[in-house]
Amino acid sequence: MTPTALITGATSGIGAEFARQLANRGYNLVLTARNEERLKESAGRLAAEYSVQTEYIAADLAEPEGVERVSRRLEKPDIAMLVNNAGYGLKNSFERNELAAEMDHLNVLVAAPLQLSHTALNTMLSKMEEPGGHIINVASVAGFIPRGTYSAAKSWVITFSRWANISYGGRGVHVTALCPGFVHTEFHQRMDMDKTLYPDWMWLDAERVVREGLADAFAGKGISIPSKRYKALAWFGARGPQALVARIAGRGR
């Protein structure tokens, strides 16, 4: 059976790069995102370029119905990899955001990966011939820094992935938190962020992030932090004086 990878947030940025690199490795693909037109176009292009089978599921992961739709596809035995990549940041500080916006944010960044991981894990463990698979949860170095609800959500993803990898790695299912820093994608454009405020050395390309993330996942690692510069920043964020870390990072979101 040809292995299948399901990728959330698959039409742009890191998710689209995961789709390309996994298709190049021979995985069939299930792409999920909210925009059905972009999904259809991406699925057709990848199928033609890499000669793999592609499917797509239009779903809003802030809504229970959307998560359930994706979860049902993860119950099929061809699933060998889940990439929980869907995510976004909020433009305003916590007190200025509507509570509903914060709850949707939490659902996409935490509740959806939890439910999808639970389904995928049970599918991977129940395979009769060869139990196993990989779950990659796209987190962030922000998860090592006290900086608002985005960082708090990514901290949960990191802790969950590290624990799950220890708990289930011995049974063939490896769970990896991929923790990039700033990456050249649409993520920051959607937040109207001025990218010129940050020096060039802080920016990574999606190709490198995904390539290193996949290498660490296939090596069975629970945490993947692309580049030495961000490994150092994550170490300082986790172990440095937290008041100082928060001042350097900026309290903001």
By the 10 Å C-beta count (0-12 exposed, 13-18 middle, 19+ buried), 97 is classed as: middle
Sign of the Cα torsion 90, 91, 97, 98 reads negative
Interacting residues of 217 by C-beta distance below 8 A, sequence separation 6+: 134, 136, 174, 176, 178, 224
150 part of the active site:
yes
Residue 28: alpha-carbon gap to chain centroid:
18
**Burial group, residue 131, by CB count within 10 angstroms (0-12, 13-18, 19+):** middle
**108 with 149: CB under 8 angstroms?**
no
Beta bridge partners of 31: 7, 56
Torsion angles phi and psi, residue 176, rounded to 5: -125, 130
* Sequential DSSP letters for 71-83: HHHTTSTTEEEEE
d(CA 156, CA 91): 21
Find the catalytic residue in 56, 150, 168, 230: 150
Phi-psi region of 134 (alpha: psi -120 to 50; beta: other; left: phi over 0): beta
Q: Which residues are catalytic?
A: 150
